[in-house]
Amino acid sequence: MTLSKETLIKTQELLRSQITDLENQEYQIEAQLKDVTFKNFKVNGVEKRWNSGDKQSYRVAFKHISEDVDFYITNDENPINDVRWSSWSYSSIKPEEYIATIKKCKSYIEAVHEMLTILESPEQLEETVSKVIEIHSTQIAPLQNQRWDIMPQLREIDSAIVEIDNKEELQKALQLFAAPVYFAEPYRINKNNRVRSIKIEQKKDKYFAIIDDIRKKVSEHEIRDFYRHATKIVPSGNYEYDNEGNSIKKFYKTDNMFCDREQALNPVKTEITEEEFKAIRRY
């Protein structure tokens, strides 16, 4: 049974809403995790990691409450395999800033020293790490699994909607190009070739485009691209002179498709503001 586009869109909105709700719940729990502290370090995140086979572990990140000092610890046989900190210095210190600068340096070094002291005996983190892993595995992971189960369904719905849109656009294009359509802005076939007119002929399940009197086989994708080019608005700008001889930049727009070559070569232009010109160009 093929679902209607309206039903697919409603299903799409529902699935997206469910994903957003699950993500919000995850963010709230992750925010609570960051309230978990050990001495002057707070939890900055937790990541499930897969080792060889089906064996899994967790890596918990800690960050100092005030200094740019952080470290990681895992709950496996090698809990500490990465120790690092920044290296920086000050120069051209003003006399009135000297004491404050020294205090800042001491605070940072003290934070690094505290980190190294903690890592010297990582077993003291076991209780905190276990608490974080339990929260992640019992609260965050189930939400993630629900979200991951929904994602394939949403991709399937998205693809079905795109397929319907493509078919609708193709039918509009075939109706439009049943007779020759002339462009104000030529269509770029490739780097060196641009064309002014296109007509589409259908032979069973094959399509042929008469492009400036040259007949060639084209795909449905190309036909849809022709249609988008034909239906777009073409902006332009040029300098003109007022009655006093001053140069003024003016902006215009015009349709891009016409049923007559002369109209396409000399389209009627409508003056627009610079803001509208920029908006059309971005679109």
Q: What is the pLDDT of residue 242?
A: 74
Q: Tell me the average pLDDT across 261-267.
A: 92
- Does residue 108 lie in a domain region? yes
* 261 and 139 fall within a common domain: no
- Does residue 265 lie in a domain region? yes
* 34 and 139 fall within a common domain: yes
The dihedral region occupied by 67, where left means phi > 0, alpha psi between -120 and 50, and beta the remainder, is beta
Residue percentage of the chain with pLDDT more than 70:
98
- Domain assignment of residue 261, given as a range: 177-283
List of residues 6+ apart from 163 with CB closer than 8 A: none
Q: Tell me the average pLDDT across 111-138.
A: 93
Closest to 44 in 3D by CA, of 65, 14, 75, 21: 65
The radius of gyration of the chain from alpha carbons, rounded to an integer in Å, stands at 32
Quick: pLDDT tens for 34-44: 899 999 999 99
* 193 and 277 fall within a common domain: yes
- As for how many domains the chain has, the answer is 2
Pairing of strands 247-255, 233-241: antiparallel
* 126 and 182 fall within a common domain: no
In this predicted structure, the answer to whether residue 248 has a pLDDT above a threshold of 90 is: no
Quick: pLDDT tens for 41-98: 999 999 888 765 567 789 999 999 999 999 999 988 788 888 888 878 888 989 899 9
CA distance 158 to 49: 30
In this predicted structure, the answer to whether residue 126 has a pLDDT above a threshold of 80 is: yes
Quick: pLDDT tens for 6-31: 999 999 999 999 999 999 999 999 99
* 89 and 141 fall within a common domain: yes
* 139 and 205 fall within a common domain: no
* 20 and 144 fall within a common domain: yes
* 23 and 58 fall within a common domain: yes
Q: What is the pLDDT of residue 53?
A: 58
The dihedral region occupied by 213, where left means phi > 0, alpha psi between -120 and 50, and beta the remainder, is left
CA distance 136 to 143: 10
Strand order in the sheet with 56-64: 37-38, 41-50, 56-64, 70-74
Write the single-letter amino acid at 126: E
* 110 and 192 fall within a common domain: no
